[in-house]
Structure formats: C-alpha cells, structure tokens
Amino acid sequence: MTATPTLPEMCAALGDQTRWDILTRLGQEAMSASALARVLPVSRQAIVKHLDVLSEAGLVTSERRGREIVYAALGSRLNALAHELDRIGNAWDTRLRALKDLAESADE
Amino acid sequence: MTATPTLPEMCAALGDQTRWDILTRLGQEAMSASALARVLPVSRQAIVKHLDVLSEAGLVTSERRGREIVYAALGSRLNALAHELDRIGNAWDTRLRALKDLAESADE
DNA sequence: CTGAAATGCAACACTGAGGTTGCAAGTCAG
DNA sequence: CTGACTTGCAACCTCAGTGTTGCATTTCAG
C-alpha cells in the first residue's frame, strides 16, 4: 500500500492491453504469475511487472498459497474509479451547459 | 473519428498528469491551445499533441472560432467509460464471491 | 534427498510517449 | 498593408515503459 494511487496512476495502470488481458483472466479465476505466463503470449517476468503495477493501483490482490502466489482482480477499486470519473464527467457537462446558457443570453 | 476508441486507449488517454491538467482547465472553460500553453508549464506543441490524443479518445471537442481553435472537455465520453468500468468491476466481484463460496463448501 | 516448479533479482534491448525548438502559413485588428 | 497572434508541420532529444534472457533461490512432491 503506497498511499492512495492518484487518478492518473489508476488510469495509466488500465492503459495497457496486456494488463487488461491479465485482468480479464484474473477476473474469471485467480491464478499465479507462472500460470498467466503459460496462457498469455508474454514472459513471466513481464507478467510480474504488470502485476506489480496493478497491485500498486489496488486493482489486484495477492495471496501466498504454498509455493505460489495467487492473484485475483479486485473490482471494488475499479468501481471507486468509475464513480469518481462519473462525477467529473457530470461536472464538465454542467459547466458546458452553464456556459452555453450564458452565451445564448449574451448573443444578440 | 477513428471508430470507437478501445477501453485501454481511453484509459491511456487519461493516464497522464499533463492531460488531466489540460482537461481540468477545459472543464472549467473552453480555450485554445495557445491559451493553455500560456497557463500550463509546457510548450504549445506538447499541448497540441495532448489535445490530439484527447480528441481521438473523444474527451474533448474542438471548434474553429476565427483564427483560433477552441477546445472544451466532453463529459459524456467520460461518463460512458465510467459506466463500462463499473460493469466490469461488478463482474469481477461477482466472480470472486462465487469462487469464495465454492472454496468454502469444498474446504474441510 | 532429489527434482521439478515457483518466485526473486538483475542486466539488457527497443520502442514510443512526452517534450523541445524552429520556422512556415493562415488570419484577424487597426 | 502591416504587424501581431494563432495554428501547422517537421526534425530532434530523452527517458520510462514493455519486454527479453539468464541465473539464483525457495518450496513442494514423492
């Protein structure tokens, strides 16, 4: 846990196709880095790095299970992000509407 | 318009601090690339590139206004993204719950 | 104990994203 | 018309992200 990841950090973590491939798998079933490497067309080391990024962003949890470490996608963080983005989106549109109204009343 | 931007593309567009700086400004008031360059600590060219990315992602609209091009943040795309992320997040947690239930019934 | 399988660590290569500078080309104001 | 301002285009630089390979280390299975 390195404090709360910032909004750009969260988005950056989700801004990579390979990481979505990983997340999609982990969303279906929890599995280890080695297991993911067997299924995806990248090396285990690459997967580990991606998992680190996803972990930093709080998008996956890890749990040691015997000799392997099993990862699972964590939906709650994604939901929290979604909520925040939604709020921001609404704020923008509100501003836009307000400006548009102002422009109309100022025109002619 | 290059078809609908993919989910990783959208997130990647939002995965940069400078672009959020730009979006925040454009969410408050519409302005040109030159105007943004005056306010933000990066060159106009850098801003233009970012605006291109944001435009590709459908996060900003542009409108020629005399000799300048005025950009504005577009909330609807952000709301759409938020909705999609929310759906995915829920799906993950549902899976997790199902797996956990299964594990519990299988244990001891 | 021994071997197979998993993680951990490190060095390295390559591409592209983000940024800069410089100059040409439109376009409005007076 | 002229000057000031804005956009458009292009070359260039730098570094972090993505990926690789190789080897050491831990850990379970039999």
Closest residue in A to B77 (Cα) is: A89
Give the burial class of A69: count Cβ atoms within 10 A of its Cβ; 0-12 exposed, 13-18 middle, 19 or more buried: middle
A27 and B83 within 8 Å at the Cβ level: the answer is: no
* Mean pLDDT of the region B43-62: 97
What is the rounded CA–CA span in Å between residue B23 and residue B87? 25
A-chain residues near B81 (CB < 8 A)? 85
The reply to whether B14 has its C-beta less than 7 Å from any atom of strand D is no
A89 and B99 within 8 Å at the Cβ level: the answer is: no
Whether the CB of A31 is below 8 Å from some CB of chain B: the reply is: no
Residue B93 pLDDT: 85
- pLDDT tens digits, one per residue of A14-48: 999 999 999 999 999 999 999 999 999 999 999 99
Buried b (16+ CB within 10 A) or exposed e, A34-52: ebbbeebeeeeebbeebbe
Cβ atoms of B47 and B19 closer than 8 Å: no
Q: Which nucleotide is nearest to A49 (CA to C1')?
A: D18
- Select the more confidently predicted residue: B65 or B79: B79
A78 and B91 within 8 Å at the Cβ level: the answer is: no
| Neighbour tally for B77: CB within 10 Å | 21
The reply to whether A6 has its C-beta less than 7 Å from any atom of strand D is no
> Quick one: which residue's CA is nearest to C10's C1'?
A45
A13 and B14 within 8 Å at the Cβ level: the answer is: no
**Per DSSP, what are the bridge partners of residue A68?**
A65
- pLDDT tens digits, one per residue of B13-51: 999 999 999 999 999 999 999 999 999 999 999 999 999
User: Residue A67 is which amino acid?
Assistant: R
pLDDT tier for residue A56 given thresholds of 50, 70 and 90: very high
